[in-house]
Amino acid sequence: MHAIIRPMDSESTALRDPPHMALAPPASLLLDRIVTPMGETLLVTDERGTLRLLDWADHESRAIALLRRQYGAAVRLQRGPAPAALTQSLDAYFAGDLPRLDEIRCAAAGTPFQQAVWAALRAIPPGTTASYGAVAARLGHPKAMRAVGLANGANPIPIVVPCHRVIGADGSLTGYGGGLDRKRWLLAHEGVHEHAVQKQLTFE
């Protein structure tokens, strides 16, 4: 399933795009690099300019392997610039204009459950956090904390799909694909400091 990832509304328990909004697998992908406060970042976009993957340059081999798993070994990846609107939104976010992430159009291949989790992540506002249990409850599957954790870890578009805002039920930061230092930095950048991370969004 290839679908645009955007925040869930208050009634949704899964991401259900109308048929005309579903995206076909990309014919080709462009790889660009930008400098961020957390190091060089990889951006992969499709022919429509939709963001398909974001990762850090020190994890490039992992990023390429993920693209192959998602879209097949035949997918063409070539170097090329990401759309200016995308890089401008990311630059604005890192400069402190946190809501600019919501402007970014992104999509990824995933199961319906993964898509639902990723959409729920985009509904967590900057400056707040949610536990895995809270996300699972939001989806109508309160016992699916482990499945939520697996979907969170499989997110190919961190920052924009803010898996860094999901924490353990005890307030621990838990794992993060880019490393806990980056997760800590992102939360602090958004105004959530580790000593206050117990302030969690419950979706109530």
Active-site amino acid positions: 163
Q: Count, in order, helices (H) and strands (E) of the chain.
A: 6, 8
What is the C-alpha to C-alpha distance for residues 121 and 135, in angstroms, rounded to an integer?
8
Cα atoms in the Cβ-side hemisphere of radius 13 Å centred on 22: 13
Residues 1, 88: Cα–Cα separation, whole Å: 28
Strand (E) or helix (H) holding 183: helix 180-189
21 vs 148: CA distance, rounded Å: 24
Q: 3-state DSSP call for residue 116?
A: helix
